[in-house]
Amino acid sequence: MIRIGSKIFTEQYILCEMYRLLIEGNTDLAVSSKTGLGGTKICFDALRNDQIDFYPEYTGTGLLVILQPAEEVSARVMRDKDSTYAFVKQQFEAEYQLEWLPPVGFNNAYALMMRKNMAAQLQLNSISDLTHYLTKKRTP
């Protein structure tokens, strides 16, 4: 019996169901889904305490929420998705004896939307531009 866990939001429910269907459709293994466990800490503890066998996790969350490295380490390894994954994979193996499997092929990156004319007026092309604009605006 393979026990799949998930956090308590829609994307995680979908991923859990996809994994269940893939395992059942391609193996003789039975699958049990434990969805809606809560947040990262609850899922991670369930994995470490042998209550689930795996759950979908994001490399950025693994890095910042679970590993919590010093800020300069985070900045260094978060240059790109490949270096983040390599660092997280190595650290989880060393610290927790857990294996990170290769990414599944989508990116949960953050983005903002703004009307084109407003972005042009404020000269905003990135989240960094918005941060700079807001910081300038608050400074007397």
Tens digit of each residue's pLDDT (9 = 90 or more) over 32-89: 999 999 999 999 999 999 999 999 999 999 999 999 999 889 888 988 889 999 999 9
- 126 confidence band (pLDDT: 50, 70, 90): confident
| Contact criterion met (CB below 8 Å) for 48 and 17 | no
Q: Look at the block and give the residue holding tokens 């605006």.
A: 137
pLDDT of residue 63: 94
C-alpha to C-alpha distance for 54 and 22, rounded to whole angstroms:
14
37 SS3 class: coil
What pTM was estimated for this model as a whole? 0.76
| Contact criterion met (CB below 8 Å) for 63 and 78 | yes
pLDDT of residue 139: 66
Sign, CA torsion 16/55/58/21: negative
